[in-house]
């Protein structure tokens, strides 16, 4: 559409590396010695931006390694095919797509046999006499690590949910006691906190992660997240949002789109304004509107959308963070805990 943005423009750096990530990373490194297999999990909507090869290498080393692309229910079959091709060419063929919201998911059923085979066929281990296998799940915040453990445990052991899950980033704050997910063979899985790069070097990639909930929404800004969603939808010529917001035509300005939407949905709020005398006047409830817009996107109500451009993929961006910051180098924001 003429006049629409070609690029998103300048964005401030989004950094979120609270103390629990630094501590969690150290706990994960300490646990590695007793881990036989690492499961690296990503949100399938950001298969490229969500993966930092340095981080993966740091925690995987030469251990058996499986990549899980979770939230496959939120992407199309065509995107899944392209992601599979990219990962098989550049990362690993040991790849599983999962939907942790569905206990009949075929990907979930493959986990235990795959972990077993990977460990038993690994040269690194002499598994004879081993009574149990330990695996660790790693990934950025909110990709579904805890959900993954809960559902594999429920599926294989018929045992109820044990780990806390929520739609916001930073729910798991420490490396947990290992959780049994299978009896035959006995497999335990360590849940871990979501870890982001200490300094995110690509602000656009960070925004995509923010859209998927890997940063706290309020730290990033609800309007900014909503704007990036609007930009993405327009770039993909997906105008489903117009009927929700009561727009006559697509719009590339988030303030206009949400203002019209607030009028359409009767989400205006009374406000006293000194500038306009002491009277009350109505203004759009931008917080409500942005939240609603973000929620709809996250539930795939505008369609199954991948935020990365899979057709432009060349290689996974190397990011030079060493992840071994000293305590006083930790970047802290207000609200860390």
Query: What's the angle, vertex CA 183, arms to CA 110 and CA 29, rounded to 5?
Result: 75
Q: Which is nearer to ligand GTP, 152 or 285 (CB)?
A: 152
Closer to ligand GTP by CB, 107 or 284: give it: 107
What is the rounded (10 degree) CA torsion for 12, 13, 19, 23?
A: 160
170 binds, among Mg ion, ligand GTP, none (CB under 5 to 8 A by kind): ligand GTP
Strands 65-70 and 37-43: parallel
Which residues of this chain interact with ligand GTP, rule CB under 6 A?
70-71, 73-74, 98-101, 139, 141-147, 165-167, 169-172, 193-194
Residues that bind Mg ion (CB under 5 A): 145-146, 171-172
Q: Of 137, 170, 152, whose CA–CA distance to 59 is shortest?
A: 137
Q: CA nearest 231: which of 1, 3, 43, 7?
A: 7
Residue 85: CB minimum distance to Mg ion, A: 29
Q: How far is the CB of 175 from ligand GTP (least distance, A)?
A: 11
Binding residues for GTP: 70-73, 142-147, 194
What's the closest the beta carbon of residue 172 comes to Mg ion, in angstroms?
3
Chosen from ligand GTP, Mg ion, none, partner binding at 100 (C-beta under 5 to 8 Å by type): ligand GTP
At 30, list the tokens: 């300490």
Residue number of the CB atom closest to Mg ion: 172
Alpha-carbon 224 to chain mean position: 17
18 binds, among ligand GTP, Mg ion, none (CB under 5 to 8 A by kind): none
Residue list, annotated binding site: 70-73, 142-147, 194
**CB 148 to ligand GTP: min, Å:** 7
CB of 174 to ligand GTP, least distance (A): 10
Tokens of 57: 């290498």
- Nearest residue (CB) to Mg ion, 162 versus 201: 162
Q: Which residue is nearest to ligand GTP (CB)?
A: 194
State the binding partner of 74 from Mg ion, ligand GTP, none, CB within 5 to 8 A by kind.
ligand GTP
Q: Which residues contact 191 (CB under 8 A, 6 or more apart)?
A: 137, 145, 146, 149, 163, 172, 175, 176, 179
Before 304, cis peptide (omega within 30)?
no
Give CA–CA dist 234/293, Å, rounded.
14
* 22, interface contact from ligand GTP, Mg ion, none, CB < 5-8 Å by kind: none
Reduced to 3 states (helix: H, G, I; strand: E, B; else coil), residue 75 is coil
CA distance 17 to 330: 7
């Amino acid at each position: 559409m003429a006049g629409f943005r070609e690029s998103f423009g300048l964005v401030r750096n989004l950094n979120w590396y609270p103390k629990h990530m630094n501590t969690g990373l150290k706990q994960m490194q300490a646990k590695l010695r007793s881990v036989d297999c690492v499961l690296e999990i990503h949100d399938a909507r950001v298969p490229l931006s969500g993966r930092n090869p340095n981080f993966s290498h740091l925690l995987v080393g030469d251990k058996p390694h499986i990549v899980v692309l979770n939230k496959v229910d939120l992407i199309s079959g065509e995107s899944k095919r392209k992601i599979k091709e990219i990962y098989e060419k550049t990362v690993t063929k040991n790849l599983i797509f999962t939907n942790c919201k569905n206990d009949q998911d075929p990907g979930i059923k493959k986990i235990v046999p795959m972990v077993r085979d990977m460990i038993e066929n690994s040269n690194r281990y002499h598994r004879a006499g081993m009574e149990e296998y330990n695996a660790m799940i790693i990934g950025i915040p909110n990709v579904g690590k805890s959900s993954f453990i809960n559902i594999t445990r429920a599926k294989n052991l018929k045992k109820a949910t044990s780990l806390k899950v929520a739609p916001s980033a930073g729910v798991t704050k420490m490396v947990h006691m290992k959780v049994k997910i299978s009896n035959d063979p006995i497999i335990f899985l360590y849940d871990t906190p979501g870890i982001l790069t200490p300094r995110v070097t690509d602000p656009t990639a960070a925004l995509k992660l923010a859209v998927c909930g890997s940063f706290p929404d309020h730290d990033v800004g609800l309007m900014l997240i909503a704007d990036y969603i609007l930009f993405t939808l327009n770039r993909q010529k997906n105008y489903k949002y117009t009927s929700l917001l009561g727009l006559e035509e697509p719009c590339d300005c988030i303030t206009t789109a949400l203002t019209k939407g607030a009028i359409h949905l009767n989400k205006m709020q009374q406000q006293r304004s000194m500038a306009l005398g002491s009277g009350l006047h109505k203004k759009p409830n931008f917080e409500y509107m942005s939240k609603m817009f973000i929620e709809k996107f996250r539930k795939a109500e505008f369609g199954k959308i991948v935020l990365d451009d899979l057709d432009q993929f060349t290689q996974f961006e190397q990011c030079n963070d060493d992840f071994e910051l000293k305590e006083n180098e930790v970047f802290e924001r207000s609200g860390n805990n």
